[in-house]
Amino acid sequence: MTQANAPTEFAPRTRKVRVLATLGPASNTPEMIATLFQAGADAFRVNMSHGDQQSKVAVIQAIRGLERQFGRPTTILADLQGPKLRVGRFAEGRVELVTGNVFTLDRSPEPGDATRVELPHREIFAAIEPGARLLLDDGKLVLRVTDHDETKIVTTIEVGGMLSNNKGLNVPDVVVPMAALTEKDRSDLAFAVEQGVDWIALSFVQRPEDLMEARRLIGGKAALLAKIEKPAAIERLEEIVEQCDGVMVARGDLGVELPPEQVPPLQKRIVEVSRRMGRPVVVATQMLESMIQSPSPTRAEVSDVATAIYDGADAIMLSAESAAGAWPIESVTMMNAIGNAVERDPGHGDRVHFTVMKPDPTTADALAEAAKNIARTVSAAAIICFTSSGSTARRIARERPAVPILVLTPQLETARRLGLLWGTHAVHTRDVESFEEMVAKSKRMALRHGIAKAGEQVVVMAGVPFRTPGSTNVIHVTRIVGDELKNYD
């Protein structure tokens, strides 16, 4: 590599929680993406709900361009839209629903009025039950079902207001027998896989079965993240987490379909279950909402972000703040600052470990727990692991060690996917052939990437025989000396 083409020097982040930034009109140029990366964004979300596929190509290419610019793997999450339940149109464009009146949703395509409107989703007619709520326009209006058949749903208006054409509908009290993937989603998923994104986020997950078709269509070419945004998903949470590679706490939709006061304890439960089961967990939606318009957040928003970090979430996400707001750079900078400040708190480690992680009865889990304890006992500077699939890194991160995790992998795809994993600094590098090479390479990489300094000790994990996935069975403590960068590869 010539000097002119050499990557820009970029110090590793000491922050362990990851920052996931959504890209959009305010932030989708190559220059802005690079600026957000330098400001603290560890991964980027491409929202498939907005814009067409062709407009996403340049964005994805710009994110990948960071790898050449900064010499680090990049992480891309494509977020599928999912089914959108909407009412039909009104003859006058909008109507006022009066509290206490009767309002009917039916199958007729005729324009609606203050007494009725079309509901073009036959699945709801089959699933709905008397007493169930229907929420309109992000929960601003509330209807209670009193009667129904296969052609109409009769309701009483409990919370009235203005309702206009094609407003969204939420059905929080029943499982709607709809596939989580629409035709648009299937097309977007195929596009995202073709573009080589690292994660696919699936919306409208209600049951573990909802993940199966997406898993089949992805075909192992990306990791699958389940968005927990439906009350039905909470009832089968552990089964859903078992079937996916990562989890998102989608608090916006949860807050529409559930009373707001129920969302914080559910957030903690989802984070705890995901951590216990070794799945990266992202806390999302309205984290710094005021920064869409303001250059600084409210103190309540800062506290909200800090709470997610204290709970041990792998990643915290910006939505409209970085995608369409007036202050995208400041929003990422603030997320980065909150993460650094919380993790400098002497009580951070105790709070993160308030949730007890019991290792599974496997050699790899036992070694991951041992690596954390050894690193603490000998005051090691880092834990270094060699992995092909990323499973060893996930096991170590599950333990939330106090030191950085340097992940060395021969698979670029694995290095990219680890951008959502707590505390990891992934490096794409050649595999090793022997124990001696493993130790020497660990020390060189630790020095080169600023993870450790001469004179410090590191804890190394790997599997023997080498190049055998799932064979993690070695843990080794070594000290770095001053000339480790000789013969660097």
All domains in the chain, ordered by first residue: 18-82+179-350 (3.20.20.60), 94-170 (2.40.33.10), 363-479 (3.40.1380.20)
Report the distance separating Cα 372 and Cα 475, nearest Å.
Answer: 11
Q: Cα dist. 147→106, 136, 151, 178 in Å?
A: 12, 18, 11, 22
Are 290 and 330 in contact, with CB atoms under 8 Å apart? Answer: no
109 burial (CB, 10 Å; 0-12 / 13-18 / 19+) is exposed
What pairs with residue 90 in β-bridges? 112
Torsion of CA 20, 26, 29, 30, to 10 degrees: -40
Are 249 and 271 in contact, with CB atoms under 8 Å apart? Answer: yes
What six digits make up the tokens of 72?
């680090």
Query: What are the backbone dihedrals phi and psi of residue 459, each rounded to the nearest 5 degrees, phi first?
Result: -105, 125
List, for residues 72-98, the tens digit of each pLDDT value: 999 999 999 999 899 999 999 999 999
Are 26 and 20 in contact, with CB atoms under 8 Å apart? Answer: no
Question: What's the pLDDT score for residue 159?
Answer: 97
Question: What's the pLDDT score for residue 51?
Answer: 87
Are 455 and 480 in contact, with CB atoms under 8 Å apart? Answer: yes
Q: Tell which residue, 10, 18, 5, has the closest CA to residue 70.
A: 10
Q: Which residues of 439-464 are buried (b: 16+ CB within 10 A; e: fewer)?
A: bbbbbbbbbebebbeeebbbbbbbbe
List, for residues 409-426, the tens digit of each pLDDT value: 999 999 999 999 999 999
Question: What's the pLDDT score for residue 4?
Answer: 47
Report the distance separating Cα 417 and Cα 237, nearest Å.
Answer: 23
Are 281 and 274 in contact, with CB atoms under 8 Å apart? Answer: yes
User: Cis before residue 465, ω within 30 degrees of 0?
Assistant: yes
Residues marked active site are found at 45, 86, 227, 285
How many alpha carbons lie under 13 Å from residue 415 in its C-beta half-sphere? 20
Q: Return the biggest CA–CA distance within the chain.
A: 81
Report residues of the chain scoring pLDDT below 70. Answer: 1-11, 467-471, 482-489
